[in-house]
Structure 1
Amino acid sequence: MRLWIGGYGADQGGTAVGIGELLAGDADAGSAGGALAFAGTAAEIGGSPTWLAAHPSLAVVYAALEGAGAVQAFRRTGDSSFARLGPAVRIGESVCHVAVSPDATYLLATCWGDGRVVRVALDAVGRPGAATIAASAIDPYVPSDPFAPPVDPGSTATDGAFDLPGGGIDLADAARALREAAGPEFAHLVPDLSAPEDSLAALGLSAGGLELPRRASGEGDGSDAASDTRSVAAPERVSRAHQSVFLGGGLIATTDLGFDLVRFWRSGADGLRLVGVVRLPLGSGPRHMVRHPSGHLYVLTELSCEIFVLGPDRAGAWRVLGGTPLSPETRAGVDAAAELAASTDGQFIYASIRGLDTIASVRVRGAGDDLVPVALADAGVTWPRHHLVVRDTLLVAGQHSNDVVALTLDIRNGGLSRPVRRTEAPSPTCLLPAR
């Protein structure tokens, strides 16, 4: 089986030089049961393609160039080679994930650094074009009304669901109304809360993409690949979009790790329209999601190392239905959950925990809304950044140990073997099966 590997490059303190190639047994095999081998670099980039996504029907791969804050498309030109397809499109600070719509008319890019969710149009050959920024997230734990009591930090996740529109105050509109009421003599005393960065014109939006705002001297960008504890060490609450998932029927979910939110969208002619928000517990840090065959959405929280189960009620509003901690062994501020993957039959969910360097096996029960941890296994790597289920094999990318390992899955009880195969790979952060 042939897979593409994304990783950290020199601009982020890593050793990758582009998109790598991984072989698991024979290149054309449908399973990953054979020997592992890193086969070299398929596309030299000179940056950090930390996340990869495939076009659903064309031989095109999209890379989130995290250090450059851009997305680049690559067209496959041979078994083990790629060529750039169009120019890189500027997206936002520390873009960390891309996902392609099922109809291949656009892709979504999410930015850990500045919280942007950006829709990028795709043409008939998969080339990225115009970019449109979605509405910024609003921190549900900071009241819009300055005289309102603070949100109870101990509130449970299940009370944090609501629909849009309705609920929430637009601070920019409120400030504008106050300036008008104050009149020309005192209007200057009311701050203008319509931040310039929220203006597409100010962001330099064009057919070529977005110009990134300059970072103030001394600001951190979370690009230290030696630790990648970006969210764990965050000194303040900042919007940090991390992943998008297409749920079917035109519905999209995105996580905001910094504001503890899962937001729901629909795509239209003018961009993404926000249709719902679910608030998770304060400081939980929703990172990645998996849509289960039951229709439920499983959300992995990086900071609290939990999985939450989300589902729609009868009115279609998404809510938290349940959840579970991954392990009592996790340490707050030290361990950080990274990735979710479902077994082929959907009976188990596998979640990685960096720091502990383990993989948690979680059983799915009932109608898909009941999760029960069953085992905690050694990941076999240091800082397991990403993992992938291929039939009865779990491939795990070790970002800090510079390797990929294969573990055998026990389909009866969800258990994992110790690593049975291993290969060196430069700073791997993402594994994508080749089409």
Structure 2
Amino acid sequence: MARLLIGGYGADMDGDATGAGLLRAGAADETLSGGALGFGGTAFAAASPSWLAWHPSLPIVYAALEGAGAVRAFRRVGEEAFEPVGAAVEVGAGICHVVAAPDGGFLIASCYGDGRVMRVALDAEGRLGAVTAGEASTDPYAGREPERAPHAHQARFVPGGVLVSSDLGHDQVRIWDTSRGGMRQRGVVALPFGSGPRHTVWHPSGHLYVVTEYSNEVFVLAPDRFGAWSLVAGTPVSPGTLVGVDYPGEICLSRDARFVVVGVRGSNTLASLRVGGTGAELYPVAMVESGVDWPRHQLVTYDTVLVAGQRSGSVASLTLDERTGAPGRVRHRVEVPTPTHLLPL
């Protein structure tokens, strides 16, 4: 059985969650997650913990409290039990993503509301400390009408100690140097105007895949041997998506990294793409019903895709054909209050 924490929206974000929930997937005596789904109630109380992230070495989860614009830490004290660690720390409006640095020295918070990328210090026990703001985003298309606001949406550490962050409002991926306790922007890759880069996933071939919320595409970025990043390829999420109707949300890899899976809100589907060549080529494979309304987040566990449906208040599981990369039919579904994120325990 797989256990997962479920991030969700509470009353302050027009949702029903009372905190981070607990999901059980599969039979208790099995390691796979393709069996029945069960909701285990609230793992810890919090106001709209829409995104959750583990400390790299300590049993501590950090929750982005989106409505409050804050982050808070929770320590695991049992198989399915947590307790708060200190008070919440304010970081910025509409915080929608957090990620801890590989060395555990700090975490990065992405704030959709004000567009800021924030660094929060962590002490040796994983407690939250001082907050430092990264350089403000500058629109690469400044001068076009109307003036656009930045919307930081996600940050990711990639090999080489590099931090990359997506800005949905300014259509760019920003490259950061976080060494020596700082936050210094060292590069920017502009995506097409109006594309809306949302989330990313790192492929072992050395490419960063970026899914766009507004143009329904997956762009491929990569650094050269000197560390300069550029846009190297792009493809539609699926020929079946409609711009202005469909809004891709999460992007993830299959277990063997041969396929990419994208959740598409609007049509409420899952799209899969095959990775080809050196990793820069992506080819649409299939587009199937997700089994939920507004698939906000999904992840692959073995041969199963778990999908969080924000508007349906449910999580569904689907098979994933590891030969073709095509998601199959919905196998199980469980009611969950306004889920937004799934994090393995």
TM-score by structure 2 length? Answer: 0.97
Q: Distance in 1 between matches of 2:59 and 2:292?
A: 31
Give the match for residue 79 of structure 1. 79
- Secondary structure of the 1:87 match is strand
Q: Distance in 2 between matches of 1:306 and 1:29?
A: 37
- Counterpart code for 1:124: A
- Secondary structure of the 1:110 match is strand
Offset of residue 27 of structure 1: 5.4
Offset of residue 88 of structure 1: 0.5
- Secondary structure of the 1:11 match is helix
Give the match for residue 216 of structure 2. 305
Superposition map of 1:10-409 within 5 A: 10-26=11-27, 30-45=31-46, 47-143=47-143, 237-409=148-320
Offset of residue 129 of structure 1: 0.5
- Secondary structure of the 1:114 match is coil
Is the CA contact (8 Å cut-off) linking 2:199 and 2:250 kept in structure 1?
yes
- Counterpart code for 1:286: P
- Secondary structure of the 2:183 match is strand
Q: Distance in 2 between matches of 1:337 and 1:264?
A: 23
Offset of residue 270 of structure 1: 4.4
- Counterpart code for 1:127: R
- Counterpart code for 1:94: G
| Count of residues in correspondence between the two structures | 344
Offset of residue 26 of structure 1: 4.1
Is the CA contact (8 Å cut-off) linking 1:2 and 1:27 kept in structure 2?
no
Offset of residue 333 of structure 1: 2.2
Offset of residue 28 of structure 1: 7.8
Cα distance 1:81–1:27, how it changes in 2: closer, same or farther (>3 A)?
Answer: farther
Q: Distance in 2 between matches of 1:335 and 1:236?
A: 24
Q: Distance in 1 between matches of 2:174 and 2:28?
A: 39
Is the CA contact (8 Å cut-off) linking 1:53 and 1:432 kept in structure 2?
yes
Offset of residue 326 of structure 1: 1.1
Is the CA contact (8 Å cut-off) linking 2:240 and 2:287 kept in structure 1?
no
Q: Distance in 1 between matches of 2:226 and 2:163?
A: 17
- Counterpart code for 1:298: Y
Unmatched tracts of structure 2, length 5 or more: none
Q: Distance in 2 between matches of 1:27 and 1:88?
A: 34
Offset of residue 330 of structure 1: 2.3
Q: Distance in 1 between matches of 2:30 and 2:79?
A: 14
Offset of residue 30 of structure 1: 3.8
Q: Distance in 2 between matches of 1:273 and 1:35?
A: 46
Cα distance 1:264–1:29, how it changes in 2: closer, same or farther (>3 A)?
Answer: farther
Offset of residue 92 of structure 1: 0.3
- Greater strand share, 1 or 2? 2
Q: Distance in 1 between matches of 2:73 and 2:247?
A: 30
Q: Distance in 1 between matches of 2:33 and 2:251?
A: 19
Offset of residue 70 of structure 1: 0.2
Give the match for residue 427 of structure 1. 338
Unmatched tracts of structure 1, length 5 or more: 144-149, 154-234
Question: Once the two structures are superposed, what CA deviation does each residue of 1:11-42 show, in whole Å capped at 9, x if it has no partner?
Answer: 00000000100001245854312210001001
Is the CA contact (8 Å cut-off) linking 2:247 and 2:266 kept in structure 1?
yes
TM-score by structure 1 length? Answer: 0.77
Q: Distance in 2 between matches of 1:363 and 1:327?
A: 11
Q: Distance in 1 between matches of 2:113 and 2:308?
A: 23
Offset of residue 237 of structure 1: 1.6
- Secondary structure of the 1:283 match is coil
Is the CA contact (8 Å cut-off) linking 1:2 and 1:28 kept in structure 2?
no
Q: Distance in 1 between matches of 2:210 and 2:54?
A: 22
Q: Distance in 1 between matches of 2:138 and 2:334?
A: 43
Is the CA contact (8 Å cut-off) linking 2:221 and 2:230 kept in structure 1?
yes
- Secondary structure of the 2:73 match is strand
Between Structure 1 and Structure 2, whose CA radius of gyration is higher? 1
- Secondary structure of the 1:78 match is coil
Give the match for residue 200 of structure 1. none
Cα distance 1:44–1:28, how it changes in 2: closer, same or farther (>3 A)?
Answer: farther
Range 306-315 or range 283-292, more displaced: 306-315
Q: Distance in 2 between matches of 1:48 and 1:29?
A: 32
Q: Distance in 1 between matches of 2:327 and 2:222?
A: 29
Give the match for residue 157 of structure 1. none
